[in-house]
Structure 1
Amino acid sequence: MTTDKDPAAAFEQEVAQNIRSLREDRELKARSGEWLRSTLPHRYSYNFRWMGRPIIQYPQDMIAMQEILWQVRPDLIVETGIAHGGSLIYYASLCELIGHGEVLGIDIDIRAHNRAAIEAHPMFRRIALLQGSSTDPRIVEQVRERARGKTVLVVLDSNHTHEHVLAELEAYAPLVTPGSYCVVFDTVIEDLPAGLYPERPWDVGNNPKTAVAEFLAAHPEFEVDADTEAKISITVAPGGYLRRR
Structure 2
Amino acid sequence: MTSIDPTEEFRRECHDRVEGYADSAMAQSGREFMRASTEPKYSYNFSWLGRPIIQYPQDMIAMQQLIWRIQPDLIIETGIAHGGSLIFSASMLELNAACGGPADARVLGIDIDIRQHNRQAIIDHPMAKRINMIEGSSVAPEIVQQVRQQATGKRSVMVCLDSNHTHDHVLAELNAYADLTSVGSYCVVFDTIVEDLPSDMYPDRSWGPGNSPKSAVKKFLQARDDFEVDTSIDNQLLISVAPQGYLRRLR
TM-score range relative to shorter protein: over 0.9
Matches of 1:23 and 1:138, distance apart in 2 = 42
Local SS of the residue matching 2:145: helix
Matches of 1:112 and 1:9, distance apart in 2 = 49
- How much identity, in percent, do the aligned residues show? 56
Work out the number of aligned pairs and report it. 243
Q: Trace 1:196-215 onto structure 2 (pairs within 5 A).
A: 196-215=201-220
Matches of 2:5 and 2:182, distance apart in 1 = 32
1:110 aligns with 2:98: no
How far the C-alpha of 1:9 sits from its partner, in A, is 1.2
Q: Trace 1:143-154 onto structure 2 (pairs within 5 A).
A: 143-150=147-154, 151-154=156-159
Q: Deviations over 1:28-70 (max 9, x none)?
A: 2221110111112321101001000000000000100000001
- Quote the residue 2:135 is aligned against: 131
Matches of 1:84 and 1:164, distance apart in 2 = 21
How far the C-alpha of 1:225 sits from its partner, in A, is 0.3
Local SS of the residue matching 2:81: coil
The answer on whether the counterparts of 2:80 and 2:111 sit within 8 Å (CA) in structure 1 is yes
- Quote the residue 1:17 is aligned against: 16
Structure 1, 27-36 or 155-164: larger mean CA deviation: 27-36
Matches of 1:11 and 1:185, distance apart in 2 = 30
- Quote the residue 1:69 is aligned against: 67
1:179 aligns with 2:184: yes
Matches of 2:176 and 2:151, distance apart in 1 = 12
Structure 1, 147-156 or 87-96: larger mean CA deviation: 147-156
Local SS of the residue matching 1:234: coil
Local SS of the residue matching 1:215: helix
The residue identity in structure 2 corresponding to 1:11 is F
- Quote the residue 1:32 is aligned against: 30
Matches of 1:196 and 1:38, distance apart in 2 = 11
- Quote the residue 2:47 is aligned against: 49
Local SS of the residue matching 1:145: helix
- Quote the residue 2:169 is aligned against: 164
- TM-score when normalising by structure 2: 0.95
The residue identity in structure 2 corresponding to 1:220 is D
What are the ranges of 5 or more consecutive residues in structure 2 without an aligned counterpart? none
The residue identity in structure 2 corresponding to 1:59 is P
